[in-house]
Amino acid sequence: MELSNPTTTPTLNATQPLRGYFIPLITVPSHISNLVDIAKLFSSRGVHVTILTTHHTSLRFKQSIHDWGFKIDLHIVDFPFREVGLPEGVENYSDATPEQASQLFQAFMMLQKPMEDAIRAAKPDFIVSDRYYHWSTDLARELAIPRLIFHVRCYFALCAAEVVAKFAPHEKVESDTDLFFLPDLPDTIHMTRLQLPEWIQTRNMFTVLNERMDEADRECYGVIVNSCYELERAYADFYRSNLGRRAWCIGPYPVHCDKVGKKKGDDSKKHSCFEWLDKMGEGEVIYVSFGTLSCFSPAQISELATALEMSGHPFIWVVRNGEKLLPDGFEERITEQDKGVLIKDWAPQVKILEHPAVGGFLTHCGWNSTVESLAAGVPMVTWPLGAEQFFNEKLISGVLKVGVEVGSEKWSRGIVPNTDMIEKDKIERAIKELMSKEPEAEERRQKVKELSKAPRNAVEEGGSSRNNLSDLIEKLQRLKANEISVSTNSE
């Protein structure tokens, strides 16, 4: 891997490779890993890739790039710690306290100018940036190059968000808990106002930011989606045809990277949890994880811990910072009885889900976790918290029918505890329903096993995601050669 801070660019000619700048959202871990995976995929096709980021954020993925053997440059800009009063190294919401969230957001907004200056100096052939960098659409237009947006959302969530914005069905019900229908979608989907993001429920500063991002989405060249066509066929077609958006699904990224990279060893398999998993029976373990930014109250942690014990199923629970909130004696009891394993830091989630002992996933419905569970053929207990997770739940349980809903009813921001208390009885019921041997549960397991073939086949030679990546790179090459025009995503 080469580290660089380029200031000059050689004259381009027809024989030079495409040069792309990739800009991950440095404040959210899942956004970072996804865009780094996209960069790896482009690099595997001979594209000259540069990731534009900050120093401490680069430490999260530099080793991964090295281990996979990809030739990717890094362009480092300074993060304004001192200007906003943050300690050095706090560049991410997972490292920040709730009290530091506003300072972190302020620092993130201050990165626009140095990032713009870096891209202007480098003069790449295209930009791939997180949707939060809405300004990169205007910059791409100024440089007469395409900007591609990376979304952590699936096609279903993108379509659902579009019809909510277009038809405002949530404004036609009398209360926050009344069900409303999402019009035009291929399936019948109902939600409540409480399940929508707060900036949709009540106009605030984030409403304005999201409107800017939506406008930039419509004006950019196209969208890259972490999915495969076969998994969301109806919604991929709806997004492109009914909504008129240009998009390429080239995922799932981790599975796709496995096919094109040459990783040096696999340390994830050395994690201590696998020795315990190897002793468990096939499909009897429930895996529990709520992503990197989810936050629960002590009372909710206690309810979840009690429900896991009551369920009678062995479990792996990724608690991270939640271990200090666990009920007294809980960890000692489950360890002594060999009932469960607590993981208090990073978890090799993909490998855990692929282990034959894992038969269910209690998840917050983040799309990364969802698509990893689908690719592994593991059904889910759905417990959405914020972001677009309530949309994802509707896909999992309502459309694909491979999940059991725990009963979450209220959207919340990830950096503060969710106030929607889910009682232990509800959690226990959902786990038992998912893990049971009843015909409905067996049908769910068989369905998700069949679905798991789609994302894996898509990244094989000749698969839809492989072909979509080829098509996208070909179009970028033609744009560079001025064979086609850089029209907007809404045309």
Q: Which residues contact 59 (CB under 8 A, 6 or more apart)?
A: none
Please state whether beta strands 222-225 and 315-318 pair in parallel, antiparallel, or not at all (unpaired): unpaired
CA-based R_g, the chain, Å: 22
Q: Between the CA of residue 33 and those of 186, 327, 360, 442, what are the distances in Å?
A: 31, 33, 24, 33
CA-based nearest residue to 476, from 43, 125, 16 = 125
What gap in Å lies between CA 172 and CA 169, rounded to an integer? 5
Backbone torsion region of residue 182, taken as left when φ is above 0, otherwise alpha when ψ lies between -120 and 50, otherwise beta: beta
Cis bond before residue 114 (omega within 30° of 0): no
Burial of residue 102, with CB atoms counted within 10 A of its CB: 0-12 exposed, 13-18 middle, 19 or more buried: exposed
CA-based nearest residue to 363, from 346, 383, 349 = 383
31 in catalytic set: yes
E strands present in 11-123: 19-23, 48-54, 72-77
Burial of residue 122, with CB atoms counted within 10 A of its CB: 0-12 exposed, 13-18 middle, 19 or more buried: buried
What gap in Å lies between CA 37 and CA 47, rounded to an integer? 14
Q: Between the CA of residue 58 and those of 36, 135, 202, what are the distances in Å?
A: 10, 22, 36
Q: Which residues contact 333 (CB under 8 A, 6 or more apart)?
A: 309, 339
Q: Which two tokens stand for residue 410?
A: 């209220």
What gap in Å lies between CA 95 and CA 336, rounded to an integer? 32
Q: Between the CA of residue 13 and those of 123, 147, 231, 459, what are the distances in Å?
A: 14, 21, 39, 31
First to last CA, the chain: 38
Q: Which two tokens stand for residue 50?
A: 């540069």
What values do phi and psi take at 257, rounded to 5?
A: -65, -35
55 in catalytic set: no
Q: Choose, from 125, 130, 313, 355, the residue flagged as catalytic.
A: 130
Q: Which two tokens stand for residue 384?
A: 């959405």
Q: Which two tokens stand for residue 319?
A: 């608690």
Catalytically active residues, by annotation: 31, 130
